[in-house]
Structure 1
């Protein structure tokens, strides 16, 4: 338990906070240093990819420690891990599937408006019904029964909302 907490704190510091600050310094102090900007872009692309596949590999023993070591390897100046991982593995793989990825992202962007509309309408409908139930409870003559009704309504509302 304590090892996992320490691992998470170190990951937060050395995997996210310190690299973010170094990236900030590069953007602000050396905005024309294309090599360093590329290095930090590669780092954050790799970190995003690790986070994207994390749910499939996080079951591994000592995953947090491995992830921390990998992130330090990526930014540590003597290893140049971001350059190696990006140029050797990530870039060739993404370049191979780039047209397919682009096509799927365009499709998702087109459907995102429909999904947003659906969830907003669903939220508005169920939220209005819940508000009316609460209002009915407040003005009701039987507070005990109405409170339990509102609670059961709010629970069913939450369940319906989570199911979409």
Structure 2
């Protein structure tokens, strides 16, 4: 447990932070030789990190496993040993050069497929959202239309009933009542005839009443 913690600290400090600062100095001074040196180191260190992920799972039980990792990182980093430069020139560079075209094709295909899958997922997501929105919107629209229709029907019924009551009240009249209406009927020929007939009937009743009183 202690050796694993020490190994992780050594790799973090001497295998990552110090090379990062040295790379910063190389960029700042624009030293091409330092550029090449630290680029080779980072390529080898990236491969070391990938291999470390698997070896920690399957070989961490071996004796002096973490001590070997510490020694390997120091060997890669030390200017005296130049371990990263040796590994890069003898193994990494020839292996990558022989498979460079295949790797480029694989990366290109992976980019195209990932882009197509992203577009497909995006289009499917947008379609699903639109369908959900339409399904949720249609019941609300139908309910709103039904409510408006029912309200219109009630308003029409109330207006029709009010108009009928007003018409019945306006045109209702008893022939035996002597109250005079406050409105004037339309001055048409039939209207004038009806009005004259009403006056004659009223006058006849009045004369009859006077005769009865005189008797």
SS of residue matched to 2:80: coil
Name the structure 1 match of 2:45. Answer: 47
Tell me how far apart the structure 2 counterparts of residues 114 and 72 of structure 1 sit (CA, whole Å): 44
- Runs of 4+ residues over 4 Å off in structure 1: 117-125
TM-score, with length taken from structure 2: 0.51
Alpha-carbon spacing, 1:78–1:111, altered in 2? closer, same or farther (3 Å): same
Q: Following TM superposition, by how much is the alpha carbon of 1:65 offset from its aligned partner in structure 2, in angstroms?
A: 3.4
The equivalences for 1:1-164 within 5 A come to 1-28=1-28, 30-31=29-30, 33-58=31-56, 59-60=58-59, 61=62, 62-117=64-119
Task: Specify every segment of 5 or more residues in structure 1 that has no aligned partner in the other structure, as ranges.
Answer: 126-164
Rg (Cα) greater in structure: 2
**2:23–2:38 contact (8 Å) kept in structure 1:** yes
SS of residue matched to 2:112: helix
Tell me how far apart the structure 2 counterparts of residues 91 and 106 of structure 1 sit (CA, whole Å): 21
SS of residue matched to 1:77: coil
Could you report, residue by residue, the CA deviation over 1:91-130 in whole angstroms, capped at 9, with x for unpaired residues?
A: 11111111111110111111222344566689997xxxxx
Q: CA RMSD in A?
A: 2.6
**2:7–2:67 contact (8 Å) kept in structure 1:** yes
Task: Specify every segment of 5 or more residues in structure 2 that has no aligned partner in the other structure, as ranges.
Answer: 129-215
**2:3–2:67 contact (8 Å) kept in structure 1:** no
Alpha-carbon spacing, 1:116–1:3, altered in 2? closer, same or farther (3 Å): farther
Q: Following TM superposition, by how much is the alpha carbon of 1:42 offset from its aligned partner in structure 2, in angstroms?
A: 0.4
Q: Which has the higher contact order (CA 8 A, sep 6+)?
A: 1
Q: Following TM superposition, by how much is the alpha carbon of 1:37 offset from its aligned partner in structure 2, in angstroms?
A: 0.5
Alpha-carbon spacing, 1:57–1:91, altered in 2? closer, same or farther (3 Å): same
TM-score, with length taken from structure 1: 0.65
